[in-house]
Structure 1
Amino acid sequence: MGLIERSLKMKVCLVGSSGGHLTHLYMLKPFWQKHERLWVTFDKADARSLLQDEKVTPCYYPTNRSLKALIKNSFLAWRVLRREKPDLIISTGAAVAVPFFVLGKLLGAKSIYVEVFDRIDQPTLTGRLVYPLADQIVVQWEEMKQVYPKATNLGSVF
């Protein structure tokens, strides 16, 4: 039985940049709404609006190829994961996902990476980095199984 198919109540940590990555995570609502959850995303208007009734921890940005943000988000991930002890970490990217997957693995959390919809046959940088760490990789196009052989194609989240 895959991690996504689990029906037991669990604590889920949803990690992603604001904008499209956050929209992808939010589209998984049929799954995450059944579970205790917390969000880690940028403190931006779209995230504040979409997640106004959710438990949110802001992360540092910009993250794209920023060593400073990676270090700050690694310390943040350590604090959040030790305090919250999620059973499962789910992310659609981007870079903020990396420290959560690395430290989550060390702390015993399971992880699912969902490659974004607009990647049909090429991986994202985040996808390449977390692929060896993730317990489950989800793609939305059959072509992506050539990129991520151990992935599960669940089709579009839209």
Structure 2
Amino acid sequence: MKVCLVGSSGGHLTHLYMLKPFWKEKDRFWVTFEKEDARSLLEGEKMYPCYFPTNRNIKNLIRNTFVAWKVLRKEKPDLIISSGAAVSVPFFYLGKLLGAKLIYIEVFDRIDKPTLSGKMVYPIVDKFIVQWEEEKKVYPKAVNLGSIF
């Protein structure tokens, strides 16, 4: 199984990195911002840079859609996992078209309101994971697996 882990640097990347028991033995690659925290955390990992800022930035959404198309066609992941933010959206929609399974993990600090990225990918994901039971009021089809932390 080949896994694509895609997310913004910072807290979103930390969330994904904390899933190491799941991904450590799998063929994997990362998509995140070319920032110091990402370079440091992902040293030795296969990583594709994407454009930022992403939040409500149409220009970088378009640019990241081209990155997603190129990377996904090259790597052909079986599974795409993200905890956000906006960079995940083109990877999820194009990944779905290319046959990948999609898992989205809503971030820990959202308890009773959805994130914009979460709302955008919720309709197409194979599994939507929340970390608080209260979030299931916002995302009724979600699965609460508890805190990643």
Name the TM-score, length of structure 1 as normaliser: 0.93
Amino acid at match of 1:130: V
Match of 1:80? 71
Summarize deviations over 1:108-138 as a string: whole Å, max 9, x none: 0000000000011111000000000111000
Amino acid at match of 2:24: Q
In the alignment, structure 1 residue 121 sits paired with structure 2 residue 112: yes
Match of 1:13? 4
SS of equivalent residue, structure 2 residue 113: coil
SS of equivalent residue, structure 1 residue 31: helix
Amino acid at match of 2:113: Q
Following superposition, which runs of at least 4 residues in structure 1 exceed 3 angstroms of deviation?
A: none
For residues 46-125 of structure 1, the aligned pairs below 5 Å read: 46-125=37-116
Summarize deviations over 1:23-63 as a string: whole Å, max 9, x none: 00111111111211000000000000000010000000000
CA distance in 2, matches of 1:63, 1:86: 23
- Structure 2: where are the runs of 5+ without partners? none
Number of positions where the alignment pairs a residue of Structure 1 with one of Structure 2: 149
Summarize deviations over 1:4-36 as a string: whole Å, max 9, x none: xxxxxx100000000000000111111111211
Instruction: Tell me the C-alpha RMSD between the 2 structures.
Output: 0.5
SS of equivalent residue, structure 2 residue 118: helix
Amino acid at match of 2:47: V
- Structure 1: where are the runs of 5+ without partners? 1-9
Summarize deviations over 1:44-101 as a string: whole Å, max 9, x none: 0000000001000000000010110000000000000000000000000000000000
Q: Percent of aligned pairs with the same residue?
A: 74
Match of 1:147? 138
Name the TM-score, length of structure 2 as normaliser: 0.99
Amino acid at match of 2:15: H
CA distance in 1, matches of 2:5, 2:35: 16
